[in-house]
């Protein structure tokens, strides 16, 4: 499912109207203009918006769409901007962004993974550059944790569209942490012995004792998390498409 199948982006269109349009065979922006199923006033208002939306899609301006979808429907933006999506995960020394610090930031984009490390290459300038190269962010619990942590610790204002997979997972009935949900969906992962608490211990061993092996294990764990986020969103997107869109669309 792509943005071009979505009508709730447009002002004045809710879920009920969108479903009615789908059931009438209007499943793409182009169909709306061809069949003109709405009143002239509403039709014209939506067409003006869709023309603007098309222009922004043509230039890959994901920012235009960042607040156009309801939060629970943010997953719909993924397929249009997946090529430059940034799968993001951070590790910290604790849960309080004001008292604790970010130790590593994992980034997976366009098939390439990297982990930025505190006191090495993890800087405000580097983070800003990486985010600016990304069409959108994909995380798990990142809206409540990762993004606020980065914004506070590095004086950033992150405005990219952000899909926090914790919410679409809950919508599908999957609850718990990332690792638990991965198991429910059959997504395998390496380093199953490492979790958030162990990540803190690994950093302390590196910081206090210079344990390079501990740092490398932490880096691998952080990298695997970001790579698994891509597997997770592909699975979640497919399931939500079948639940939200397919029942209202005739073959």
Of 198 and 191, the structure prediction assigns the larger pLDDT to 198
Task: Answer yes or no: is pLDDT of 251 > 60.
Answer: no
Question: What's the pTM?
Answer: 0.92
Q: Are strands 136-139 and 85-92 parallel, antiparallel or unpaired?
A: parallel
Q: What's the topology of domain 80-238?
A: Nucleotidyltransferase; domain 5 (3.30.420)
Burial of 186 (0-12, 13-18, 19+ CB in 10 A): exposed
pLDDT in tens, 208-247: 999 999 999 999 999 999 999 999 999 999 999 999 999 9
Report pLDDT digits (tens) over 134-146.
999 999 999 999 9
Section 149-159 average pLDDT: 96
Query: Of 80, 17, 18, 21, whose CA–CA distance to 54 is shortest?
Result: 80
Q: Looking at residue 163, what is its pLDDT?
A: 96
Residue that has been written with the tokens 């990297």 in this structure? 114
Under the banding of pLDDT at 50, 70 and 90, the label for residue 188 is: confident
Domain boundaries, the chain: 3-59, 80-238
pLDDT tens sequence across 80-134? 999 999 999 999 999 999 999 999 999 999 999 999 999 999 999 999 999 999 9
With vertex at residue 172, the alpha carbon angle to CA 171 and CA 177, rounded to the nearest 5 degrees, is: 85
pLDDT of residue 191: 64
Read off the pLDDT of each residue in 151-175 and give the average, rounded to a whole number. 95
Closest alpha carbon to 178 in 170, 198, 73: 170
Q: Examine the pLDDT at 192 and tell me if it is beyond 70.
A: no
In this prediction, residue 89 carries a pLDDT of 97
Q: Is 245 exposed, middle or buried (0-12, 13-18, 19+ CB in 10 A)?
A: middle
Lowest mean pLDDT among 33-37, 58-62, 162-166, 223-227: 33-37
What percent of the chain has pLDDT above 70? 98
Between residues 250 and 188, which one has the greater pLDDT? 188
């Amino acid at each position: 499912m792509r943005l071009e199948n979505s009508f709730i982006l447009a002002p004045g269109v809710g879920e009920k109207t969108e479903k009615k349009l789908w059931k009438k065979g209007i499943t793409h922006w182009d169909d709306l203009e061809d069949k003109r199923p709405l009143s002239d006033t509403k039709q014209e208002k939506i067409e003006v918006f869709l023309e603007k939306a098309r222009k922004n899609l043509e230039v890959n301006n994901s920012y235009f769409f960042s607040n156009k979808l309801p939060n629970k429907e943010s997953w719909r933006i993924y397929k249009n901007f997946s090529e430059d999506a940034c799968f993001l995960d951070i590790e910290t020394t604790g849960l309080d962004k004001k008292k604790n610090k970010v130790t590593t930031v994992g980034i997976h984009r366009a098939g390439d993974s990297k982990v930025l490390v505190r006191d090495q290459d993890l800087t405000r300038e580097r983070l800003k550059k990486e985010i600016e190269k990304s069409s959108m962010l994909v995380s798990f619990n990142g809206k409540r944790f990762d993004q606020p942590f980065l914004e506070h610790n590095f004086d950033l204002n992150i405005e990219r569209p952000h899909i926090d997979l914790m919410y679409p997972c809950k919508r599908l009935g999957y609850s718990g942490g990332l690792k638990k949900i991965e198991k429910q969906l059959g997504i395998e992962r390496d380093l199953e012995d490492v979790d958030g608490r162990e990540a803190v211990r690994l950093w302390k061993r590196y910081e206090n004792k210079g344990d390079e092996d501990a740092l490398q294990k932490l880096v691998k764990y952080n990298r695997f998390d970001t790579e698994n986020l891509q597997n997770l969103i592909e699975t979640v997107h497919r399931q939500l498409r079948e639940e939200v869109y397919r029942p209202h669309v005739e073959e």
